[in-house]
């Protein structure tokens, strides 16, 4: 008995062993030990899984950092981030036009896509009948499964000529990028927002109806405010998706490394420039691409931090 108790203490609080009084001590020890081994090996397995992911992030960050930091020293942080000329083959490494492009296309896509996605989420969780929901939800989820190159192709072949007819240019530019990205971020934002809405306790809906509120009043006065932390989380994750999107954007924005003169003029983003230039860049140019990767890394770290602090804030409020 003493041995088995020690075993169980070692196993920690996460591994409760069976303790049946009256059964033979040998049998009990046998069970407890095999249970303990199973529990602790599973714990090790899951720890390993988590470590691989964390190590992946750490290694990528280390690799990108090591390859890219030199550009900050060489060009200077301010000249690199805010220089307005990206002419890498002639030694001009200003990435401001690319940072501008990344944020401009992302913010516009969010303005278009987020209301669409939140509306979808409200419809799926509050309005739709189970039958309609069972058709619509898989359809929205399917959007997430379409490879981004298909979105890009659709944008290039179908959307771009339409935009070109309206604007008179080639149709490459912010508008085309906004439309494509807005569709692409809908599944991310709507899935998480719907989760947030559905996880609200049914009591607050009933309370709202009991007070005489209509369905619409319940939605916009009670449910959406109650789920707002989850919805903001969803929007931030959608933003992360949009800012990192490469292939679809590459095909519809025209890739000119300048701050565009209008919403239907070609421009570039950080990710598309990395992809296009990686094919031939060498020396400082290559280092500058890694420097841009560092900036992207920092942006996504800020976004993740925002989500984390928001959900902590949400817990305090709730």
Contacts with another protein by CB under 8 A lie at: 87, 89, 156-157, 160-161, 164, 168-172, 250-251, 254-258, 260-261, 265-266, 276-277, 279-280
Q: Between residues 16 and 161, which has the closer beta carbon with respect to another protein?
A: 161
User: For another protein, which is the closer residue by CB, 60 or 87?
Assistant: 87
Q: Between residues 238 and 260, which has the closer beta carbon with respect to another protein?
A: 260
Q: Between 68 and 152, whose beta carbon lies closer to another protein?
A: 152
3-state secondary structure of 309: helix
Toward another protein, which CB reaches closer, 140 or 276? 276
Residue 279 Cβ vs another protein, minimum distance, rounded to whole Å = 4
CB of 211 to another protein, least distance (A): 57
Helices 174-198 + 130-145 axis angle, to 10: 130
**28-66 b/e with 16+ CB inside 10 Å = b?**
bbebbbebbeebeeeeeeeeeeeeeeeeeeeeeeeebee
CB of 15 closer than 8 Å to CB of 39 = yes
Q: Tell me whether residue 70 or residue 275 sits nearer to another protein (CB atom).
A: 275
Residue with smaller CB distance to another protein, 132 or 157: 157
Query: Min. distance of Cβ 176 from another protein in angstroms?
Result: 11
Q: How far is the CB of 81 from another protein (least distance, A)?
A: 19
State in angstroms the smallest separation of the CB of 149 from another protein: 12
Element (H, E) at 87: strand 86-87
Q: Smallest gap, in angstroms, from Cβ of residue 169 to another protein? A: 6
Q: Is 93 helix (H, G, I), strand (E, B) or coil?
A: strand
Residue whose C-alpha is closest to residue 29's, from 52, 4, 56: 4
Please identify which residue in the block is written with the tokens 């607050």: 204
Tokens for 249, please give them: 């954007």
> Shortest distance, CB of residue 37 to another protein, whole angstroms?
50
Nearer to another protein, 256 or 303 (CB): 256
Q: For the CB of residue 173, give the shortest distance to another protein in the complex, in Å.
A: 9
* DSSP annotation of 18: P
CB atoms within 10 A of CB 126: 17
Rounded to 10 deg, the angle between the 228-244 and 96-122 helix axes is 140
**Helix residue spans in the chain (DSSP H):** 2-11, 25-75, 77-82, 96-122, 130-145, 148-154, 160-167, 174-198, 202-210, 215-217, 224-226, 228-244, 247-252, 270-278, 284-317
């Amino acid at each position: 008995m003493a041995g088995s108790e020690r075993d169980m203490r070692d196993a920690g609080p996460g591994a409760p062993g069976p303790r049946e009084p009256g059964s033979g001590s040998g049998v009990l020890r046998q069970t407890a030990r095999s249970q303990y081994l199973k529990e602790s090996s599973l714990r090790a397995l899951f720890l390993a899984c988590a470590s691989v992911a964390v190590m992946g992030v750490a290694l990528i960050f280390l690799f990108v950092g090591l390859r890219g930091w030199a550009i900050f020293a060489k060009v200077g942080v301010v000249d690199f981030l805010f220089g307005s000329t990206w002419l890498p083959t002639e030694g001009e490494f200003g990435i401001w036009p690319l940072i501008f492009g990344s944020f401009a296309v992302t913010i516009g896509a969010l303005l278009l896509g987020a209301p669409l996605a939140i509306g979808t989420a409200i419809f799926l969780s509050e309005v739709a009948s189970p039958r309609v929901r069972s058709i619509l939800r898989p359809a929205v989820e399917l959007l997430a499964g379409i490879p981004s190159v298909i979105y890009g192709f659709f944008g290039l072949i179908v959307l771009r000529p339409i935009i070109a007819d309206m604007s008179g240019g080639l149709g490459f530019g912010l508008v085309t990028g906004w439309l494509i990205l807005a569709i692409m971020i809908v599944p991310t934002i709507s899935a998480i927002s719907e989760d947030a809405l559905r996880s609200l306790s049914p009591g607050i809906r009933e309370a709202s109806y009991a007070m005489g509120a209509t369905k619409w009043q319940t939605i916009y006065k009670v449910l959406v405010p109650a789920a707002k932390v989850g919805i903001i989380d969803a929007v931030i994750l959608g933003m992360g998706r949009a800012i990192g999107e490469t292939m679809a954007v590459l095909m519809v924005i025209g890739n000119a490394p300048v701050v565009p003169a209008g919403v239907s003029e070609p421009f570039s983003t950080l990710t598309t420039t990395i992809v296009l230039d990686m094919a031939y860049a060498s020396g400082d140019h290559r280092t500058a691409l890694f420097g841009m990767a560092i900036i992207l890394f920092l942006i996504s770290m800020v976004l993740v931090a925002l989500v984390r602090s928001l959900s902590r804030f949400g817990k305090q409020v709730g």
